[in-house]
């Protein structure tokens, strides 16, 4: 089947004319028809509304004072039937206050009676242009809504997929590590030193992969769990985290500076993970400094809390800053600084779930500052 879509310029715009005086309604319709519009005239609001349920109109041109109905009520009922309809009201001469009331109630413009074509036509043209814009806007909004829905579904599917894949990868991996350990234990007498060394490599590889899978599972679970926000004292939380990181600090002398943060509404468990990841990075990447210094501070940006963790460690080249927050992206070798490259992607996801952003500032061999923002969350 071939569908011919009429050229917009040739498409006649339709005007619903409502005036209780049959003669003036007829005269107005005839004049507008002559100007190239399709007109549909009614002398009662009820009939006009009934017509609107049958077909679409581009513009409602209604008399303000009619017995039984007034133009404003008619316009409101009409816009319930078609929210992108535009309405122009006809008022009696000198009835400026009623015209203002009509515009406050949603009329786009008004025309004074008796109608002068030269001044009325530009008003109608402008109103019809607004109608086109409203239709376009609605189309765009519908598109965005549709795409968002599609993305949500795709996202959910992807999460479910990564969860089940990670989960299923575990079993064969366990077999690799159990059997290689059994070989190294019970059968080591039958192995040469080189054989043992190779098996140890197999085992270390399996352990590394197990960590990757654990991290992936944690990442895919982040989006599922709902946020439980409560007032949190960040400084206390940060001190507690640092006290618990004895293994990471390894007895090093690190100077910590912790600001007195304002109490903020967040999901405590998740924001704790943010600080754990940023602090463990700061501690790790300052390892080669004789005097490591780590600052945990904040500033207010309007009503948004901007937190930062700053260190004087290995730093990085800002050229690669966009990579840092991606999954499994690392800028340092595993020999120099161990890790799987998941920490910062967890940080980003948690901050974004709180409606905030993450960014970074760094310089090779000088240090790095990681920032994240948390918008105002009323208590
Ligand atoms: N404080 C920092 N100073 C310098 N580079 C950093 C710092 N924090 C992160 N990076 C760089 O960003 C990369 C990604 O960090 P991320 O925390 O995601 O992974 P990771 O620490 O390597 O491993 P994981 O956190 O999963 O154990 C790091 O490998 C490192 O190259
Ligand atoms: Mg890390």
The pLDDT score that the predictor gives to residue 181 is 94
229-374: CATH number: 3.30.565.10
Identical fold at 14-115 and 229-374? no
The pLDDT score that the predictor gives to residue 12 is 79
The pLDDT score that the predictor gives to residue 335 is 87
Cα–Cα dist 34/78, whole Å: 26
Does 292 sit in the ligand 1 pocket, CB within 6 Å? no
DSSP percent split of the chain into helix, strand, coil, nearest 5: 50, 20, 30
The pLDDT score that the predictor gives to residue 264 is 96
Cα–Cα dist 259/271, whole Å: 16
Ligand 1 centroid to Cα of residue 195, in Å, is 34
The pLDDT score that the predictor gives to residue 256 is 98
The pLDDT score that the predictor gives to residue 378 is 58
Buried b / exposed e across 219-236, counting CB within 10 Å, b at 16+? bbebeeeeeebeebebee
- Nearest-5° angle of CA 39, CA 44, CA 49? 70
Ligand 1 centroid to Cα of residue 254, in Å, is 18
- State the virtual CA torsion across 309, 314, 318, 323 in degrees, nearest 10: -80
Any idea where the domains of the chain sit in the sequence? Answer: 14-115, 148-222, 229-374
Which residues lie across from 111 on neighbouring strands?
Answer: 90
Ligand 1: atom nearest CA of 311 is 1
Q: What is the mean pLDDT of each run of 10 residues along the chain (379 residues)?
A: 40 89 94 95 94 94 83 90 92 80 90 90 94 93 94 83 83 92 93 94 90 82 84 96 93 96 94 96 96 97 97 96 89 90 93 96 97 84
pTM over 0.75: no
Residue of minimum CA distance from atom 31 in ligand 1: 331
Ligand 1: atom nearest CA of 338 is 22
In the three-class reduction of DSSP (H, G, I as helix; E, B as strand; rest coil), residue 9 is classed as coil
CB 306 within 8 A of CB 298: yes
DSSP string for 166-234: HHHHHHHHHHHHHHHHHHHHHTGGGS-HHHHHHHHHHHHHHHHHHHHHHHHHHHHHHTTSPP-EEEE-H
Give 262's DSSP letter.
Answer: P
The pLDDT score that the predictor gives to residue 379 is 53
CB 85 within 8 A of CB 57: yes
Match domain 14-115 to its CATH number in 3.30.43.10, 3.30.930.10, 3.90.226.10, 3.40.50.2300.
Answer: 3.40.50.2300
Which stretches does DSSP call E strand in 86-131?
A: 86-91, 109-112
The pLDDT score that the predictor gives to residue 109 is 93
The pLDDT score that the predictor gives to residue 327 is 85
The pLDDT score that the predictor gives to residue 171 is 87
Ligand 2 centroid to Cα of residue 206, in Å, is 20
Residue of minimum CA distance from atom 12 in ligand 1: 324
């Amino acid at each position: 089947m071939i569908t011919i879509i009429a050229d917009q310029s040739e498409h006649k715009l339709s005007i619903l004319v409502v005036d209780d005086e049959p003669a003036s309604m007829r005269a107005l319709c005839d004049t507008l028809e002559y100007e190239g519009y399709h007109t549909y005239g009614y002398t009662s609001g009820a009939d006009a509304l009934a017509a609107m349920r049958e077909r679409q109109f581009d513009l409602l041109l209604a008399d303000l004072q009619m017995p039984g109905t007034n133009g404003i009520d008619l316009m409101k009922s009409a816009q319930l039937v078609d929210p992108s309809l535009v309405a122009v009201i006809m008022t009696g001469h000198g009835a400026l206050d009623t015209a203002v009331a009509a515009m406050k109630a949603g009329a786009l413009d008004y025309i004074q009676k008796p109608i002068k074509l030269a001044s009325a036509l530009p008003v109608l043209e402008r109103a019809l242009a607004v109608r086109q814009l409203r239709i376009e806007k609605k189309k765009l909004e519908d598109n965005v809504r549709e795409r968002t829905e599609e993305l949500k579904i795709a996202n959910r599917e992807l999460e479910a997929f990564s969860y089940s894949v990670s989960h299923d990868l575990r079993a064969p991996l366990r077999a690799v590590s159990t059997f290689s350990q059994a070989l190294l234990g019970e059968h080591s007498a039958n192995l040469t030193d080189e054989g043992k060394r190779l098996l140890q490599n197999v085992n270390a590889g399996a352990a590394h992969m197990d960590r990757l899978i654990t991290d992936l599972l944690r990442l895919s679970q982040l989006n599922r769990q709902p946020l439980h926000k409560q007032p949190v004292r960040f400084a206390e939380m940060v001190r507690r985290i640092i006290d618990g990181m004895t293994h990471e600090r390894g007895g090093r002398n690190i100077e910590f500076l912790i600001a007195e943060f304002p109490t903020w509404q967040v999901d405590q468990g998740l924001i704790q993970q943010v600080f754990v990841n940023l602090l463990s990075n700061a501690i790790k990447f300052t390892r080669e400094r004789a005097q490591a210094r780590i600052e945990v501070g904040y500033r207010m940006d309007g009503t948004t809390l901007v937190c930062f963790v700053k260190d004087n460690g290995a730093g990085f080249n800002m050229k690669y800053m966009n990579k840092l927050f991606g999954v499994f992206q690392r800028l340092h070798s595993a020999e120099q600084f161990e890790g799987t490259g998941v920490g910062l992607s967890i940080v980003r996801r948690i901050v974004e779930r709180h409606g905030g952003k993450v960014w970074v500032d760094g310089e090779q061999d000088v240090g790095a500052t990681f920032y994240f923002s948390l918008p105002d969350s009323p208590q």
